[in-house]
Amino acid sequence: MKKYFEVALGIVTSRGGFLEVGSMATAAQAGAGFGYQLLWPILLGTICLIFLMEMAGRMAAICHHPLPSAVRERFGFNYFVIPLVAQSAVDFLVLSSEVGGMSLGLQLLSGIGFQWWAVPSAILVWLLLWKGNFSWIEYGVSFLGLLTVVFVVAAVKMKPEWVAGARGLVPSLPRHDKIHYWFLAVSILGATISPFLFNFYSSGAVEDEWDEKDLGVNRATAGFGMGFGGLISMAVLVAAAAVLHPKGMEVEKFEQIALVVSTPLGRWGYWIVAAGIFIACLGAALELSLDAAYVYSQCFGWAWGENKSARDATRFSSIYSLFILVSPILLLIGVDPMKLTMFSMALTVVILPFVVLPFLVLMNDPQHVKEHRNGRIGNTVMFLVIVMAAVLAVVAIPLEIFGGK
């Protein structure tokens, strides 16, 4: 019974970090601009993520070393310095976006401009990491983030065109605004297959002291948890497609996202979505801060762990403190949170090949995964993800320049 409860809790809370400012912004823009046509990158991204998360959890459970640590050991510092530098830049930008998302959630709740909330939001993130432990983040905040299920309720209430929605799950060519369409497709994939998600998941598996007995839990959590997160992302797109697209409305400001819930659900829907946005972005900000600290600590072999006190892992806690300290800067100098988010999602895609390629090697290395190596399906999926990631990395920046709005 305890095991089933653990699995259920894991599924419900593992979508924490999945639905965040990037996935909300890209899905809303996609739904408003192209109706149901861009459901397929969310589906594709979710399937890829499920495989990657399961592998990250499996490796951590077998060798008790998380992904960044294993990449450093297997590929050396000369290779690892590339994802280290790239991920530092992306983590900073995405963390700034998430603090922006938190601030916008608070703006929706209070009416006070988001820039006033940037520093208090960052302080809250820091306090939760400083005073809390891994369970708080894994269960507490993620559980509250279930408020984002309001997007699913809103989508269903709008009685969307299910047939058109089903067609949107299959890749199709855009009828207009071709460059913007592909920019959104790339951004959605970047928002979905975020390296911080599987770095965080594998480090969390080590913090939770997973071992071979937990492989079943890992599979269920990765599969159903990420599936659940993907479903909520799709709901954002479907709701935007049903509410905004018929009127030809584009999403240029994050505040417009509240309309996709207030239209079918009214005032209570507005308050819930505002709170949900705040909490979802808070969860993602916590994960991103920890991810930066995990990557640095595991790269250089420092003591690490959210369950450790700051005195027992001083460099680890200093890194996440530093990232959180600088996270409000871009917002305070006036960078638009929506533009920051779209830019950082496209950039996430650029570092994807550097993170996923070593993964393929590690999942076939008996030193790390013993007899739990990838089968043919796993390796095929990984190979396809690497090819896709390489293509996306090449086209992401030109699309950002010519197709980003």
Partner 1 sequence: MKNEQIHLVRDVLDHLMIDKKDDSMGRVDGMVIVDEEGKQPKVLELQGGIVVLGERLGKRIGRWVRLAAMKWGLVRGKRTRVAWKDVRWIEIEVKVDVDGDQTPALEWEHWLGENVISKLPRSK
Partner 2 sequence: MRRWILIILALALAAAGCGQKPDEVVEEGSKTVDSWKKTLEMVCGQWVEYRVPTLYVKQMLKAAEEVLGKKLRDLEKLGRNEEAQRVMRKIHRLRYWIESHQKELGEADAAKRREILNAIPSDAEGP
Q: Which amino acid is at 330?
A: L
User: Binding segment for partner 1 among 91-99, 130-138, 141-149, 247-255 (CB under 8 A)?
Assistant: 130-138
Choose, by CB under 8 A, the member of 23, 69, 192, 374 that binds partner 1. 69
Q: How far apart are CA 352 and CA 87, in angstroms?
A: 10
Task: Determine whether 359 is exposed, middle or buried from the number of CB atoms within 10 Å of its CB (0-12, 13-18, 19+).
Answer: buried
- How far apart are alpha carbons 27 and 229 in whole angstroms? 13
Pick the piece of the chain touching partner 1 (CB under 8 A) from 6-14, 212-220, 277-285, 301-309.
301-309
- Residue 27 C-beta: closest distance to partner 2, Å: 18
Tell me, by CB under 8 A, how many residues bind partner 2.
23
Q: Please report whether residue 159 would count as binding partner 2 according to CB under 8 A.
A: no
* 54 φ/ψ sector (left φ>0, alpha ψ -120 to 50, else beta): alpha
Q: Is 320 in the site for partner 2 (CB under 8 A)?
A: no
**Which one, 31 or 225, has the nearer CB to partner 2?**
31
Q: Which residues, in sequence order, are CB contacts of 265 under 8 Å at separation 6+?
A: 150, 153, 154, 157, 272
Q: Which residue from 147, 258, 282, 292 is in contact with partner 2, where contact means CB under 8 A?
A: 258
In this chain, which stretch among 28-36, 64-72, 111-119, 203-211 interacts with partner 1, using CB under 8 A? 64-72
Give 308's contacts (C-beta < 8 A, 6+ positions apart).
Answer: 316
Which residues have a Cβ under 8 Å from the Cβ of 214 and sit 6 or more positions away? Answer: 57, 61, 205
314 binds, among partner 1, partner 2, none (CB under 5 to 8 A by kind): partner 1
Q: Please say which residue, 309 or 380, places its beta carbon nearer to partner 1.
A: 309
How many Å apart are CA 306 and CA 317, to the nearest integer?
A: 8
Q: Is 81 an interacting residue with respect to partner 1 (CB under 8 A)?
A: yes
| Cα dihedral value 128, 132, 133, 137, nearest 10 | -40
Contact 258, 273 (CB under 8 A): yes
Binders of partner 2 in range 131-150 (CB under 8 A): none
User: Which stretch, 140-148, 208-216, 260-268, 380-388, contacts partner 2 (CB under 8 A)?
Assistant: 260-268
For residue 159, state whether it binds partner 1 (rule: CB under 8 A).
Answer: no
Q: What is the DSSP letter of 340?
A: H
Site for partner 1 contains 135 (CB under 8 A)? no
Q: How many other C-beta atoms are found inside a 10 Å radius of the C-beta of residue 215? A: 16
Residue ranges binding partner 2 (CB under 8 A): 107-108, 110-111, 247-250, 252-253, 255-256, 258-259, 262-263, 266-267, 270, 398, 401-402, 405
Residue ranges binding partner 1 (CB under 8 A): 63-65, 69, 72-74, 76-78, 81, 130-133, 300-304, 309-311, 314-315, 317-318, 367-368
